[in-house]
Amino acid sequence: MIDYTLPLVDLHRHLDGNIQPHIIWELAQKHQIALPAKSLQDVEQLTQIHDKTSDLLAFLAKLDVGVSVLADYDACYKVAYENMRDAKNSRLDYVELRFSPYYMAQSHDLNMTDLIAAVIDGVRAGEKDFEVKANLIGILSRTFGADVCMQELNALLNYQDEIVALDLAGDELGYPAELFTDHFVKARDADWYITVHAGEADGPQSIWNAIYKLGASRIGHGVTAVQDEKLLAYMVDNKIAIESCPTSNYQTATIKNLKNHPLATFLQHQVLVTLNTDDPAVSNIDIAHEYKVANEVLGISEQQLKTIQLNGVKAAFLNADDKKALIDSKAQLGQTH
């Protein structure tokens, strides 16, 4: 399904939603953290989704177990490093890893600035060891409110040059975009790209607000965009990408029937849509699984899958030279084989 002569990227991948069960178990044992689990198999049942949950918040509760074992900065480093190992194992050529410092820090009252440093170090070490290019996206966890998000943003700004973009994630319905306009002004002033979770738990107006009020050039999930033809046309005209995550959308009950996922509709409208894993450890998937779902369940042709792969490069938070280098490196590899 995947054309490995083209770059394979994952642009919507939560570092803190990709803590594998064996890592959770290992860190819990090391730090003597009590889990409602007596074995690795119990941890798998506790943290992974095998069908679907009732809603987005129930899905997010699965992530809480993973971050509960982040007892120190070495644990944060390890999780970041292991994310890069996973990227290599998934045969990714480029990955954007997003994380919420406050969310990761809260269980053990870690200093957000020091935690961010540990995550950066872990990703950069993994980037070198596993030879996968990576960029980091900071998340503001809207669920904790605007004041906490400003603290989170200020911590991220201490590493302005190591972060490429800012995201807003969490309870989309309860904490709308207008609460965070000041935050995203600061992010744009820092020359960061903007991506926002929208159209997942709320309607198309949430996507409009992410674009107009926060300055988003990419939309995470964007499922409800299909309800608004003007919005789809606007996104096409302005090259605003959608970071599509079909399995996640089914598991969060955003989509009741996976066959009805709007990925095919986005392609028909020529939206710059990409395919991503979201929280691969929680969803118990990898990127190859998403391409298989797109082909076998959603009816996306192999030619369309190639378009999606190239869309990933076009939408990546990379400069033009880095995008060209990504494509050229795969072309050269193809020639040697």
Active site residues: 200
SS (H, E, C) the chain: CCCCCCCCEEEEEEHHHCCCHHHHHHHHHHCCCCCCCCCHHHHHHHHCCCCCCCCHHHHHHHHHHHHCCCCCHHHHHHHHHHHHHHHHHCCCCEEEEEECHHHHHHHHCCCHHHHHHHHHHHHHHHHHHHCCEEEEEEEEEHHHCHHHHHHHHHHHHCCCCCEEEEEEECCCCCCCHHHHHHHHHHHHHCCCEEEEEECCCCCHHHHHHHHHCCCCCEEEECHHHHHCHHHHHHHHHCCCEEEECHHHHHHCCCCCCHHHCCHHHHHHCCCCEEECCECHHHHCCCHHHHHHHHHHCCCCCHHHHHHHHHHHHHHCCCCHHHHHHHHHHHHHHHHHC
